[in-house]
Amino acid sequence: MNLHEMDLRHLIHNEVRFRDLARKGTTIITRAEGSTIYDTEGRAYLDAQAGMVLVNIGYGRKELGAVAAAQMGRLMYYHTYFQYANEPAVRLAAKLASLAPAGLGKVFFTLGGAESVETAVKIARLYQRARGRAEGHKIICLDLGYHGNSLGALSATAFAAHRAYYDPLVPGFVHIPSPDTFEGPYRADDPGAGARYAALLEERILAEGPETVAAFLAEPILGVGGIIIPPDDYLRHVRQICDRYGVLLILDEVMTGFGRTGTLWACEQFGVVPDLLCTAKGLTSGYLPLGAVLVGDHVIEAIAEADLPFEHGFTYAGHPVSCAVAMKNIEIIEQERLAERAARMGERLRAGLVARDNPYIAEVRGRGLMVAAELVRDRETRERFPAGDQPFRFAVEAGALREGVITGIAPYRDTLMITPPLVITEEEVDRLVDVYDRVIRQEGDRRRG
């Protein structure tokens, strides 16, 4: 049996239709360097998706392997339950507290994004109970938000396609419209859009009853939903509304963190400090699994004050090898100034795409190396192509793949998502611009006939 047959026979892939996969076959990646990955057939791909949007420092950094091997030799595991800890977990917690927005001085480790989100939700509920709000359990989320596939994180996610067939989900999650100035009710040309979108949160809090709401949970820039950037003042209004009603603000920076958007955290760009911040992905750049929740000191103090037990934890939370690798990864992000680099390369990518004046791109937007292009049939009216047998975005994705470029696409609308490693070179950025412009024109012209 060759590797592809073995794969199809035994490995369950994520988010697939089994019959499609059997028909299309699988791509098995064997090695990688910088922003390029190679498959079993020796084909090279420029990875404009950075794995699952996480390989911030690029592939193939030997230093991280060395750090992992050294830590494995010294202490390969000890947990962080009860009074126990291990040195890399303690040092990384202190490092994260030093990098966190002001006041987020406490750190809980997880294995990834979904666990970080669920942990934040549990801490928010615990906090409300500590304050004597026994009913404060609801979590308000955005309808284009993505927070993970475990049952709790999925309950925070509204995508119908992800949720279908898994009922019943966890109760207590409610969704409001996302601050989407391309397709939503308030558009980019409306100077009041930020306040209007935030008002939808206030209305919902009042409708639910403020005393029943534990937290508002959102990505500062929505990732999977289509790289949706809220108006500049949206999160500041949201922060005020949360404070007005005693609702905690949880920001999910799983995708946006660690330099991706041009600053270490995306929330810095909006001038907002959350009560809890979820991270994962770029925390290790994917070299090992690790996530974390950065928690406001005031939140933990309230729980301690009420003397409520923190009954929560994961066997691998604070794994010393993951924590040691995360520390090295952060050192590289800082020393190589990768956040600034993301800002520069993102500018180049966006300017390059805009300069091509592609008739099928209605908007190019982004912060740092989180860049989106809205694909349409008609730029003026923003009419989309009918989905037909294959939505436009899938054809563009496939066309780029034929040219050796791996690209992310939004699950529900024709939005291209370009999120390469932060170490991508100028030449590679220019190649992306070339490939996307060409492929989008070819496919658009073909569809228009």
Residues near ligand PMP (CB under 6 A) are 52, 112-114, 117, 146-148, 219, 223-224, 252, 254-255, 280
**Shortest Å, Cβ 223 to ligand PMP:** 4
Please tell me whether the peptide bond between 386 and the residue prior to it is cis, using omega within 30 degrees of 0.
Answer: no
Residue 390 CA neighbour count, 13 Å, CB half: 11
**Shortest Å, Cβ 117 to ligand PMP:** 6
CB 290 within 8 A of CB 284: yes
DSSP code of residue 210: G
**Shortest Å, Cβ 213 to ligand PMP:** 21
**Shortest Å, Cβ 390 to ligand PMP:** 24
CB 333 within 8 A of CB 261: no
**Shortest Å, Cβ 291 to ligand PMP:** 6
Which residue's structure tokens are 């934890």? 313
**Shortest Å, Cβ 290 to ligand PMP:** 10
* DSSP E strands, 135-202: 138-142, 173-176
The residue whose Cβ lies closest to ligand PMP is 113
Q: Which is nearer to ligand PMP, 129 or 147 (CB)?
A: 147
Q: Which is nearer to ligand PMP, 222 or 241 (CB)?
A: 222
Q: For residue 83, what are the CA distances in angstroms to 78, 105, 295?
A: 12, 19, 19
Helix (H, G, I), strand (E, B) or coil at 416: strand
Q: Which is nearer to ligand PMP, 113 or 296 (CB)?
A: 113
What does residue 46 show for φ and ψ, rounded to 5 degrees? -80, 120
Q: Which is nearer to ligand PMP, 147 or 384 (CB)?
A: 147
Q: H-helix or E-strand containing 324?
A: helix 320-335
Q: Which is nearer to ligand PMP, 287 or 385 (CB)?
A: 287
**Shortest Å, Cβ 157 to ligand PMP:** 8
**Shortest Å, Cβ 141 to ligand PMP:** 11
* DSSP E strands, 311-398: 361-367, 370-375
Q: Which is nearer to ligand PMP, 154 or 303 (CB)?
A: 154
Q: For residue 350, what are the CA distances in angstroms to 48, 142, 341, 419, 441?
A: 14, 26, 14, 12, 17
Q: For residue 406, what are the CA distances in angstroms to 52, 114, 281, 396, 401?
A: 11, 24, 18, 11, 6
Quote the tokens at residue 391. Answer: 């939505």
Q: Which is nearer to ligand PMP, 225 or 320 (CB)?
A: 225
CA torsion 395→396→402→407, rounded to 10°? -120
CB 145 within 8 A of CB 217: yes
Which residue's structure tokens are 């494995």? 72
The sign one gets for the Cα dihedral 69, 75, 76, 81 is negative
Q: Which is nearer to ligand PMP, 37 or 280 (CB)?
A: 280
Instruction: Tell me the sheet residues that pair with 293.
Output: 108, 278
Q: Which is nearer to ligand PMP, 147 or 413 (CB)?
A: 147
Q: Which is nearer to ligand PMP, 219 or 374 (CB)?
A: 219
**Shortest Å, Cβ 286 to ligand PMP:** 10
**Shortest Å, Cβ 217 to ligand PMP:** 10
**How far apart, in whole angstroms, are the C-alpha atoms of residue 124 and residue 110?**
16
Closest CA to 260 of 170, 338, 163: 338
